Amino acid sequence: MDLNILWFILIAVLYTGFFFLEGFDFGVGMLLPMISKKDVERRAIINTIGPHWDGNEVWLIVAGGATFAAFPHWYATLFSGFYLGMFLLLLALIVRGVALEFRSKIANPNWRFGWDWAIAVASFLASFLLGVVFTNLVRGVPIDASMQYTGKFTTLLNPVSLLGGLAVVFVFIFHGANFLSLKLSEGPRVKAFNAAVRNFPAALIFAVGLFAALYFTGSAFSDKGALTLVLPLLAAAALVLSRVLGSQKKEVWAFILSSAAVVFTVAAIFIALFPNVMISSTDAANNLTIYNASSSPYTLKVMSITAAIMVPIVLAYQVWTYWVFRKRVKADVTKLTY
Amino acid sequence: MDLVALSRWQFALTTIYHFFFVPLTLGLGIFVAVLETMYVRSGNPIYKRLTKFWGKLFLINYAMGVVTGIVMEFQFGMNWSDYSRFVGDIFGAPLAIEGLLAFFLESTFLGIWIFGWERISKKLHAAVMWLVAIGGNLSAYWILVANGFMQHPVGYEIVNGRAQMTSFGALLGNPRALYLFLHTIFAGLTTGAFFILGFSIYHLVRKHDAEAFQKTFRLAAAVGLVAVIGAGLSGHAQAVYLRQVQPMAAAAAEAHYQTADPADWSVIALFDKTGKKVIWDIKIPKAQSFLYYFKFSGEVEGIDNLQAQYEEMYGPGDYIPLVALDYWTFRVMVGVGMLMVLLALGAWFVAWKKFPEKWIRRSGWLVWIIFLPYIANTTGWILTETARQPWVVHGLMQTSDAISPNVTTGTVLTSLVGFVLIYAVLMGIDLFLLLKFAKAGLPAGDTDSVLMAGEKPETKKGGK
């Protein structure tokens, strides 16, 4: 296996980690104003992700940085081509980040409820845009021979990518509700479970719809053989099983399975993409691949050594944070931080 | 305005804005870690309250730094895609490693620090704050390695029109990056120290928790004096090196036009409308040679000679940066730095005299010294980034060749207006919160909660 393949896999892993971890953060954010009107319960909800969301978001930062370092042309074409989408994603991440940090700092109901809506809308926008971006990535966008995106912003808003946006939104909501069922206690825990039940049908329908659209309307999925068919089916099965086990109060399993659904989906997208990193809908000869978009072997080697040392360390201390905060969060005003 | 100008304005504004928050994160993080260590070692609850007080201000500032930092990473690809293609092989690596090695560390452990007061032992909790502070300062190193390459490219070769890394070691040991790093770390500590001095004065004047704020005042005065002198010395060393590797940038900062030995030093100058010609100035004979060589002789290359030299090397063109801007940002930065040395000395003296009441009473206006490091930080970066122009990577790529060719002016204008609006609103909210918590003084109990009307405070007695 050459280093180009290794880095493609590593970047896929980073985005998968990001979707899995920030996925429930975004889901929790969207559910925040829906689940409860009581401030203390909302604070408990935010406190479930409080210690983790910032570290989770770094997965995106590192994925972006790794894309830049290992495949500069991928990074350059993607970010300049999807400019307005990226801009909106930035706005969403900015608003959400400060909202989480600022909302509980002032004891005024309007202030707090205003920020709660900001968290929800920003989490929705970020999730939706991520769905749009990744659907377009795997379906292909117009790219010319000099690796430049030649479409417009509206080119990115096609029926399939919009479906992709909705699928990500509802899967994240379901995934977030599972996380909350696992982390909250008493009343809020029940409310979180009910939210999972309510949002499950939409998550399943949009996810299956997206897989069908990707499989039948484009070539990336259908050309790749068994894996790109099996993984989406597994993802759908994991969603269903997650819902079933959630009803049996097996909350750990429900969460693990909705995580699996997210992981299988992102894995399928990257497998469908391989060995391309950006697919040109103009001409397949214009595709960016892991070879023509990559950095030099020397840079890839330097990066590989760094990653081999750092990734296990990062994983170890991130797992430790979840261990430290493994207890359920109680809606008790004096015990809440955010 | 054309695409290059708009892209530059957006990058400049978002970077300057981001760097309002970064130095305080770097410096204040270390102070909070020190205060918490004092708490662990002494067991004195006053240090815990101080840790929580300055820690809360740290967090409010930190949030802004994080969210504006993501913008930086995205922008290279969004607005400067040809630059990203050209240097990606070299520039991407430190950015990725920054995330992997530093930002993960900082963010993950900050989460534990905020929420972990009662979950982990005191010692471990203090160690976690040190990891946060170290993570932040390590971040600065990697970012400055990337920036150092733009100032003074090392460890590379040009292959098929792209810069490729040939020596990672050379990149990491780039003296230009190391000087930048040292200078930035001292600037961060200075920013943290003046922030603490300013708000400590605020409370000392009002006699709130005088004992506690005398402690942070003393600490900040001691660290601040060392830091601001360190910033000056590292800045000077950096300037000496700058003359060797980016002589045009150095000459622009001094508005020095004709190569001379010995070279005079311009103290004050006025420029014409182009900002590139001096119309009036006062010079001290031989002083510039002295600044660079520590003796009254030594050649210093001038802007006009360098322009002729660069035209020969790179072809016809204007290789002169906006001299007036660089000349004045340099003077403002150094001037403010010197003022801060005096203020830090004064703070030392006040602490040594044990805070005489008659002085403290009249010191309320000194709260404003908090802004001084911000002026120096901002002018310093404007100098660093504009004196390099017209190059985006010195000698290798010009800024006008670096933009994204397929992004339209309308698109960039949209994002520029969007960023300006949201940044303006957030600045207002951030200042409001910082002031509210800074003025509120030390927390009374042990809870981190801001309670709503009708909610009962904690019954357990914690702290003082």
Helix (H, G, I), strand (E, B) or coil at B117: coil
Q: pLDDT: is A222 or A177 the higher one?
A: A177
Across chain A, mean pLDDT equals 94
Q: Do A95 and B422 touch (CB under 8 A)?
A: yes
Query: Is residue A214 within 8 Å of residue A278, measured between CB atoms?
Result: no
Radius of gyration of chain A measured on its C-alpha atoms: 20
Residue A65 has its nearest CB partner, among B90, B92, B105, at B92
pLDDT digits 0-9 by tens, A2-57: 999 999 999 999 999 999 999 999 999 999 999 999 999 999 999 999 999 999 99
In a domain, A337, yes or no: no
Cα–Cα distance for residue pair B306/B328, rounded to 1 Å:
21
> Does the pLDDT value for residue A121 go beyond 70?
yes
Cα–Cα distance for residue pair B340/B115, rounded to 1 Å:
36
What does the DSSP assignment read for B46-105? HHHHHHHHHHHHHHHHHHHHHHHHHHHHHHHHHH-HHHHHHHHHHHHHHHHHIIIIIIHH
Would you state the pLDDT for residue B458?
53
> Does the pLDDT value for residue A269 go beyond 50?
yes
pLDDT digits 0-9 by tens, B40-96: 999 999 999 999 999 999 999 999 999 999 999 999 999 999 999 999 999 999 999
In a domain, A331, yes or no: no
Give the list of residues 6+ apart from residue B63 with CB closer than 8 angstroms, or none.
A97, A98, A100, A101, A102
**Partners of B391 in beta bridges:** B398
Residues in B 138-177 with any Cβ partner in A closer than 8 A: 159, 164-166, 168
- Å from A257 to nearest chain B CA? 25
Closest CA to B380 of B219, B172, B144: B144
Query: Is residue B165 within 8 Å of residue B89, measured between CB atoms?
Result: yes
What residue has token string 């010395």?
B233
**pLDDT (mean) for B290-307:** 94
Chain A residue numbers with beta carbons less than 8 Å from the beta carbon of B431 are none
Contacts 24+ apart (CB under 8 A), B423-427: B423/B13, B423/B14, B423/B17, B423/B68, B426/A94, B426/A98, B426/B64, B427/B17
Cα–Cα distance for residue pair B401/B396, rounded to 1 Å:
10
Residue A219 banded pLDDT, cuts 50, 70, 90: confident
Residue B422 has its nearest CB partner, among A57, A94, A295, at A94
Mutation for A interface: B59, B115, B120, B417, most A CBs within 10 A: B115
DSSP 8-state secondary structure symbol assigned to residue A286: G
**pLDDT (mean) for A260-268:** 96
Across chain B, mean pLDDT equals 94
Query: Per this entry, what is the length of chain A?
Result: 338
> Does the pLDDT value for residue B460 go beyond 50?
no
Radius of gyration of chain B measured on its C-alpha atoms: 24
Q: Do B85 and A72 touch (CB under 8 A)?
A: yes
What does the DSSP assignment read for A255-280? HHHHHHHHHHHHHHHHHHHTTEEE-B
Residue B85: how many other CB atoms lie within 10 Å: 23
- Å from A67 to nearest chain B CA? 8
In a domain, A338, yes or no: no
Tell me how many degrees the CA angle A189-A192-A194 measures, rounded to the nearest 5: 110
**Partners of B159 in beta bridges:** B162
The answer to whether B407 contacts chain A (CB < 8 Å) is yes
Closest residue in chain B to residue A50, using alpha carbons only? B111
Q: pLDDT: is A253 or B446 the higher one?
A: A253
Query: Is residue B306 within 8 Å of residue B391, measured between CB atoms?
Result: no
In a domain, A335, yes or no: no
Cα–Cα distance for residue pair B320/A244, rounded to 1 Å:
69
Distances from the Cα of A208 to the Cα of A22, A175, B197, B276, angstroms: 22, 16, 59, 63
The answer to whether B95 contacts chain A (CB < 8 Å) is yes
Closest residue in chain A to residue B59, using alpha carbons only? A101
3-state helix, strand, coil in chain A (%, to 5): 80, 5, 20
Q: Check the CA dihedral B36-B38-B40-B42 and report its sign.
A: negative
Residues in B 357-376 with any Cβ partner in A closer than 8 A: none
**pLDDT (mean) for A81-95:** 97
Would you state the pLDDT for residue B216?
96
Cα–Cα distance for residue pair A200/A216, rounded to 1 Å:
24
> Does the pLDDT value for residue B464 go beyond 50?
no
Chain A residue numbers with beta carbons less than 8 Å from the beta carbon of B448 are 337
DSSP 8-state secondary structure symbol assigned to residue B390: T
Structure token digits, residue B128:
């976690």
Residues in B 26-65 with any Cβ partner in A closer than 8 A: 59-60, 62-64
Residue A309, sorted as left (phi over 0), alpha (psi -120 to 50) or beta, turns out to be alpha
Query: Is residue B291 within 8 Å of residue B265, measured between CB atoms?
Result: yes
Would you state the pLDDT for residue B449?
72
Cα–Cα distance for residue pair B202/B439, rounded to 1 Å:
8
Residue B385: how many other CB atoms lie within 10 Å: 22
- Å from A78 to nearest chain B CA? 8
In a domain, A181, yes or no: yes
Distances from the Cα of A78 to the Cα of A68, A122, A166, B70, angstroms: 10, 22, 21, 16
User: What is the count of structural domains for chain A?
Assistant: 1
B201 alpha carbon, distance to own chain's centre = 24
Query: Is residue B457 within 8 Å of residue B451, measured between CB atoms?
Result: yes
pLDDT digits 0-9 by tens, B2-17: 999 999 999 999 999 9
Would you state the pLDDT for residue B447?
65
* Per-domain residue ranges of chain B: 3-246+325-380+403-440, 248-321
Query: Is residue A92 within 8 Å of residue B420, measured between CB atoms?
Result: no
> Does the pLDDT value for residue A1 go beyond 80?
no
What is the distance between the terminal CA atoms of chain B, rounded to a whole angstrom? 59
Enter the ipTM.
0.93
Q: Do A61 and B77 touch (CB under 8 A)?
A: no
Query: Is residue B130 within 8 Å of residue B115, measured between CB atoms?
Result: no
Distances from the Cα of B59 to the Cα of A102, A183, A328, A338, B151, angstroms: 10, 24, 24, 11, 32
**pLDDT (mean) for B410-434:** 96
Chain A residue numbers with beta carbons less than 8 Å from the beta carbon of B87 are 72
Cα–Cα distance for residue pair A41/B321, rounded to 1 Å:
57
DSSP 8-state secondary structure symbol assigned to residue B111: H
Give the list of residues 6+ apart from residue B209 with CB closer than 8 angstroms, or none.
B49, B203, B441, B442
The answer to whether B109 contacts chain A (CB < 8 Å) is yes
Would you state the pLDDT for residue B52?
94
pLDDT digits 0-9 by tens, B334-379: 999 999 999 999 999 999 999 988 888 888 999 999 999 999 999 9
Backbone angles phi, psi at B268, to 5 degrees: -150, 140
pLDDT digits 0-9 by tens, B197-239: 999 999 999 999 999 999 999 999 999 999 999 999 999 999 9
Q: Do A295 and B100 touch (CB under 8 A)?
A: no
Chain B residue numbers with beta carbons less than 8 Å from the beta carbon of A328 are none
Mutation for B interface: A296, A328, A332, most B CBs within 10 A: A296
Give the list of residues 6+ apart from residue A5 with CB closer than 8 angstroms, or none.
A275, A290
pLDDT digits 0-9 by tens, A318-336: 999 999 999 999 888 777 8
Would you state the pLDDT for residue A149?
95
Residue A319: how many other CB atoms lie within 10 Å: 10
Domain that holds residue A234: 3-326
What residue has token string 């400055």?
B144
The answer to whether B282 contacts chain A (CB < 8 Å) is no
What does the DSSP assignment read for B398-441? EGGGSS-TTS-HHHHHHHHHHHHHHHHHHHHHHHHHHHHHHHH-
In a domain, A334, yes or no: no
Query: Is residue A45 within 8 Å of residue A197, measured between CB atoms?
Result: no
Closest residue in chain B to residue A63, using alpha carbons only? B96
Would you state the pLDDT for residue B457?
60
Chain B residue numbers with beta carbons less than 8 Å from the beta carbon of A105 are 60, 433, 436-437, 450
Residue B93 has its nearest CB partner, among A69, A89, A324, at A69
